[in-house]
Amino acid sequence: MASSPSPVLNGPLCTRNGSFQLSPSGVLVTSEGYTVQAVGGGAIQLQPNLPIEVAADGSIRQAGNAVATLEIDDFASSDALSKFGKTYFEPSEAAGVRPAASVAVHQGSLEASNVEAPESSVRLVSLMRQFEMLQKAMNLSQQMGQQAIQEVAKVV
């Protein structure tokens, strides 16, 4: 979760974008400058000159000392999340915010789409063309059937 500096919001924001950085004052923030929240609330204050280690459970260590743990939440209902900006969601009370049970944090990795946009576009165009060909074949078959009925009716 990330705390919002904006007075328009009613509470914290949530994101799946784990591209965090340190502010000039050493606070862990998102790429837009929102403060990353620790378990129990509050900002995560780090020493800018020391390496940061993030464990799979979200715990953060510097120089062998535990500093904080990332607040990682889950929701009973994703329908109760309102989109905010490009990568954020604002949960309502109906979202049922709760700590995530089985989540693994991977330091140095970012989640990305598993879909290649150019390849998907080519496949979509190909499928549309196949559909159009089948539609034309069905129309031709229907026309041939109607013509056959008309020819049979003329003979009688």
Neighbours of 22 (CB within 10 A): 15
What pLDDT does 6 receive? 43
Residue with tokens 């914290």: 12
**Each residue of 41-77: pLDDT tens digit?**
888 888 888 888 888 888 889 988 888 888 887 777 6
> Backbone dihedral region of 110: left (phi > 0), alpha (psi from -120 to 50 degrees) or beta?
beta
Question: The dihedral of CA 82, 84, 88, 93: what is its sign?
Answer: negative
What pLDDT does 128 receive? 96
Question: The dihedral of CA 70, 74, 78, 81: what is its sign?
Answer: negative
Q: Find out whether 75 and 99 touch, Cβ atoms under 8 Å.
A: no
Rounded to an integer, the average pLDDT of 147-152 is: 86
What pLDDT does 82 receive? 77
- Rounded to whole angstroms, the Cα distance separating 131 from 141 reads 15
